Amino acid sequence: MRSLLAIVLLLSGYGWGLRAQDLTGQWTGTATDSKSDRKQKLVLSITEGDSAFGGVLHWYSPETQYIRHIIVSGRFYGKDSILTIREDSAINNLIQGGEAFKERPRVAGTGFYVLFYRRTAGRRDLLSGHWGFADSSGGSGDLEIRLEKKAPPFIPLPPLKKDSALEKKAQERESKVAANIPVRGIDTVRVELYDNGEIDGDSVSLFMNDQLLLQHVKLTAEPKVLLVPIDKSKPVNKLVLFAENLGRLPPNTALMQVTVHGKTYNLFLSTDFKKNAAVEFNLQE
């Protein structure tokens, strides 16, 4: 059953009215537990869709090396007004009975945010506030949240030498298509990669139309962001995620966020030494 979250953004000063497009982008920061002073890293990615918006909230605990991704969606109700956000799904990738299950970080499942927006004199966009929630023991906790809107660094795509052995190995594995995404009139698509679950040393390569695009990409809690070129001479462009290893906890798991025409597709992918994960981009006239 879907659980309901609500976020109230109370806007402060400077005569600056909130617009949906002002929220879009990546907000990074921390959530601090008031009882233990333990910190979790947060990345909130918001995509635009008129008055409605969607995104992903990424929670990462440095202590347990565990990351949790929560898909969220919401609606903006006007200037200096309320945003409601619904939790659509949370992918935990837990190992039942294993250490990842026992030691996963405490993160809020349902609760109520009150976050305050302000823009500093240096034109930094900030969100700060608290999130109260009920824990599994029936008690309550409180998280102090601080986020700043930042542009993530892009990974440049260097010219790579042809690696025939690696390309052959990738082609020998089955490639399961996770999504078919329509594209029209664009030269690139934006791709973000995270590990999914416990950060255990997963490393991947990327292929586009059977050509090596990027290799030795280590998946972590920090997003790996790149612009993937689209070949307009092909009706279908195929992006393949290839597992170089399986980390400490097989299989090799990743969250891939693909943004096309302002819409973000959140793809939870699993790869191993027998199968790749693929995304197909279908050119539309």
| CA-based nearest residue to 206, from 185, 192, 187 | 192
Q: What is the DSSP letter of 21?
A: H
3-state DSSP of 146-182: EEEEECCCECCCCCCCCCHHHHHHHHHCEEEEEEEEE
pLDDT value for 129: 78
Domains (range + CATH), the chain? 3-150 (2.40.128.120), 164-283 (2.60.40)
- Over residues 35-60, the pLDDT tens digits come to 778 888 988 888 765 567 777 888 88
Is pTM beyond 0.85? Reply is no
Reduce the DSSP state of residue 22 to 3 states and report it: helix
- Cα–Cα dist 78/89, whole Å: 26
- Over residues 169-188, the pLDDT tens digits come to 999 999 999 999 999 999 99
Contact status, residue 169 vs residue 272, Cβ threshold 8 Å? no
Per-residue pLDDT of the chain (285 residues; tens, 9 = 90+): 333 344 444 433 333 344 444 678 888 999 898 777 888 898 888 876 556 777 788 888 888 888 888 877 666 655 444 555 566 665 443 323 333 333 334 444 455 566 777 778 888 888 877 765 544 444 445 788 888 988 888 888 877 777 888 999 999 999 999 999 999 999 999 999 999 888 989 999 999 999 999 999 999 988 899 999 999 999 999 999 999 999 888 999 999 999 998 788 989 999 999 999 999 999 997
pLDDT value for 114: 64
pLDDT value for 249: 87
